[in-house]
Amino acid sequence: MTLRRFMIAPIAAAVLAASAVMAFTQEMVVVPTRVVYPGELVTTADLQAVLLQRSKAGLPPIAYDHSEVEGKVARRTLLPGRLIALSSLREAYAVEAGKPVQVQFVEGALTISAVAVPLQPGSVGDLIRVRNIDSGIVFSGTVMADGTVRVSAI
């Protein structure tokens, strides 16, 4: 009888602990419904919410909600049914390299506008380098939400 108690008690404890861990870690996460290639924009149609059925221990930060993924661009291939690491996504570029943009310098009531070519792509808030089309001078500016680049005095 004592041997039976010694064998059943640890098994019961393990089962209870495992079920408690499973109940604790079952959260909703979003996964792709199709292969999303690097550079592709992720849309709502590409995502589905599923129940996370494994421990979060050792996982990188992952997407739990559509809002964390929707409208972002894949940095690497996202496979259907696989967890989406937040490091696998980036903000969509507001400015593309090589496509002319409007550059503005604003100081009080003074506004100077010019056309320049970005030397690198950039998301809103990024500091990028651009080349003035007329003079060829390279300078830096901040990408704005409307797709322009704002330059400030040094």
User: Residue 59 has what pLDDT?
Assistant: 82
User: Residue 32 has what pLDDT?
Assistant: 96
Rounded to an integer, what distance in angstroms lies between the CA atom of residue 73 and that of residue 57?
Answer: 26
Give residue-wise pLDDT tens across range 50-96: 998 877 778 889 999 999 999 999 999 999 999 999 999 999 999 99
User: Residue 53 has what pLDDT?
Assistant: 81
Residue 50: strand pairing partners: 29
Give residue-wise pLDDT tens across range 109-153: 999 999 999 999 999 999 999 999 999 999 999 999 999 999 988
Rounded to an integer, what distance in angstroms lies between the CA atom of residue 78 and that of residue 93?
Answer: 19
Rounded to an integer, what distance in angstroms lies between the CA atom of residue 86 and that of residue 63?
Answer: 6
Rounded to an integer, what distance in angstroms lies between the CA atom of residue 53 and that of residue 44?
Answer: 22
Whether the predicted pLDDT of 108 surpasses 70:
yes
User: Residue 15 has what pLDDT?
Assistant: 54
User: Residue 16 has what pLDDT?
Assistant: 53
User: Residue 13 has what pLDDT?
Assistant: 56
Give residue-wise pLDDT tens across range 29-55: 999 999 999 999 999 999 999 998 877
Whether the predicted pLDDT of 6 surpasses 60:
no
Q: Spell out the domains of the chain, with CATH numbers in brackets.
A: 2-90 (3.90.1210.10), 101-151 (2.30.30.760)
Q: Are strands 73-74 and 28-32 parallel, antiparallel or unpaired?
A: unpaired
Whether the predicted pLDDT of 21 surpasses 60:
no
* Residue count (the chain): 154
